[in-house]
């Protein structure tokens, strides 16, 4: 695809593979961003919007958004910190997926069980910058300088195997479910940061004419994220218990309250986080609510 085809289009960077890729495709579909990506091509035009999707390694996206011509991107907060692009990009929207922790890990049965014991030894990671900053502060606190400082070594993959293969005394790596860590006989002894996928834009606007389209796409993505996070809870409750009921289901802004033919009762409709819905229903039953119904959301605007 030639450069002229991209002129005047909003450039939107998407991770081309890895743990965020499939979730990003689902997010785009939910926002009705229609495209057809030819095999092995990393740039494609969106059919129903003036957008070009650019598929890049997640680790490169902050740089392309912050310093290049890319308008929007999706990547992990860990990658933004590792690439030191915090001043150049703005986190527009948390996307509620790709949640993980960047942790220091050591062999569960090994002699090193604290970060203080690991300081001054060998640490392998693909997060060289964050690991260097963390152990640099720790070394300074412990008075380790020169040859006594912690040795940080970069590897691009299979970090969890470094201890078993004799390359490291500990590692710094991302942990999602923890299955890979446990399978390698490792356990976490410290957490450097929590991370999730975020929508980012440049801290310095590049294409002011594309501002309305940027806002439209951001609103659509926010609606898809909210639809995945919330359900609609509807129920009937006596007026005398309405204050208690709305404390249980306050909604994102406020619940919708409607009168019923029986003046002693009202109908309440409210958005509730999916992860809390079982407890919310139990609390509503406890105060005497009836006809409690839960509706999943396909999409919304928030």
For residue 195, what pLDDT is reported?
97
For residue 172, what pLDDT is reported?
97
For residue 1, what pLDDT is reported?
56
Are 141 and 271 part of one and the same domain?
no
CA atoms within 13 A on the CB side of 92: 24
Mean pLDDT of 207-235: 95
For residue 215, what pLDDT is reported?
95
Residue 219 scores a pLDDT above 90: yes
Are 14 and 94 part of one and the same domain?
yes
Residue 225 forms part of a structural domain: no
Average per-residue pLDDT for the chain: 94
Stated pTM of the model: 0.88
Distance CA(160)–CA(185), nearest Å, equals: 9
Distance CA(170)–CA(116), nearest Å, equals: 12
What domain range is 251 assigned to? 231-296
For residue 2, what pLDDT is reported?
53
Mean pLDDT of 88-96: 96
5 band by pLDDT with thresholds 50, 70 and 90:
low
For residue 39, what pLDDT is reported?
75
Distance CA(246)–CA(259), nearest Å, equals: 15
Residue 10 scores a pLDDT above 90: yes
208 band by pLDDT with thresholds 50, 70 and 90:
confident
Residue 220 forms part of a structural domain: no
For residue 8, what pLDDT is reported?
85
For residue 32, what pLDDT is reported?
95
Tell me the helices (H) and strands (E) count for the chain, helix number first. 9, 15
Distance of CA 244 to the CA centre of its chain: 33
Q: Which residue has the tokens 């995945």?
A: 228
Are 109 and 187 part of one and the same domain?
yes
CATH number for the domain that contains residue 163:
3.40.190.10
Domain count across the chain? 3
Residue 246 scores a pLDDT above 80: yes
Q: What percent of the chain has pLDDT over 90?
A: 88
Residue 257 scores a pLDDT above 80: yes
End position of a domain, from candidates 195, 216, 239 = 195
For residue 301, what pLDDT is reported?
86
For residue 4, what pLDDT is reported?
58
Are 36 and 94 part of one and the same domain?
yes
The b-or-e profile of 275-290 (16+ CB within 10 A means b, else e) is eebeebbeebeebebe
Residue 263 scores a pLDDT above 90: yes
CATH number for the domain that contains residue 254:
3.30.70.120
For residue 40, what pLDDT is reported?
77
C-alpha distance across the termini of the chain, in Å: 36
Residue 154 scores a pLDDT above 80: yes
41 band by pLDDT with thresholds 50, 70 and 90:
confident
Are 153 and 163 part of one and the same domain?
yes
Residue 165 scores a pLDDT above 80: yes
Q: Nearest 5°: phi and psi at 19? A: -70, -20
Range with the poorest average pLDDT among 114-123, 135-144, 199-208: 199-208
Distance CA(75)–CA(220), nearest Å, equals: 18
**Beta carbons of 72 and 28 less than 8 angstroms apart:** no
Residue 3 scores a pLDDT above 90: no
Q: What percent of the chain has pLDDT over 70?
A: 98
End position of a domain, from candidates 206, 240, 267 = 206
Are 68 and 139 part of one and the same domain?
no
Are 31 and 169 part of one and the same domain?
no
Q: Considering Cα of 14, then 35, then 72, then 94, what sign does the dihedral take?
A: negative
Are 188 and 202 part of one and the same domain?
no
Q: pLDDT tens-digit profile of 222-241?
A: 999 999 999 999 999 999 99
């Amino acid at each position: 695809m030639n450069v002229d085809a991209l002129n005047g289009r909003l450039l939107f960077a998407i991770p081309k593979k890895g743990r965020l890729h499939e979730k990003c495709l689902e997010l785009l579909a939910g926002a009705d961003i229609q495209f057809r990506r030819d095999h092995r091509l990393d740039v494609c035009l969106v059919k129903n919007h003036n957008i070009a999707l650019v598929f890049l390694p997640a680790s490169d996206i902050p740089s392309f958004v912050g310093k290049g011509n890319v308008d929007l991107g999706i990547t992990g907060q860990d990658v933004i910190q590792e690439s030191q692009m915090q001043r150049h990009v703005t986190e527009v929207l948390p996307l509620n997926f790709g949640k993980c922790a960047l942790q220091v890990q050591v062999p569960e049965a090994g002699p090193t069980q604290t970060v203080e014991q690991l300081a001054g030894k060998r640490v392998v990671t693909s997060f060289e910058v964050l690991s260097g900053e963390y152990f640099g502060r720790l070394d300074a606190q412990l008075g380790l300088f020169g040859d006594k400082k912690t040795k940080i070594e970069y590897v691009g993959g299979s970090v969890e195997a470094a201890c078993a293969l004799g390359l490291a005394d500990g590692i710094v790596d991302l942990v999602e479910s923890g299955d890979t860590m446990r399978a390698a006989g490792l356990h976490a002894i410290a957490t450097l940061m929590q991370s999730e996928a975020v929508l980012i834009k440049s801290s310095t606007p590049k294409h002011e004419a594309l501002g309305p389209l940027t806002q439209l796409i951001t609103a659509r993505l926010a609606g898809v994220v909210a639809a995945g996070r919330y359900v609609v809870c509807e129920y009937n409750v006596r007026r005398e218990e309405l204050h208690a009921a709305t404390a249980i289901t306050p909604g994102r802004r406020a619940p919708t309250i409607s009168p019923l033919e029986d003046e002693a009762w009202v109908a309440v409709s409210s958005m509730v986080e999916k992860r809390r819905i079982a407890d919310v229903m139990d609390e509503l039953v406890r105060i005497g609510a009836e006809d409690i119904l839960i509706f999943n959301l396909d999409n919304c605007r928030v």
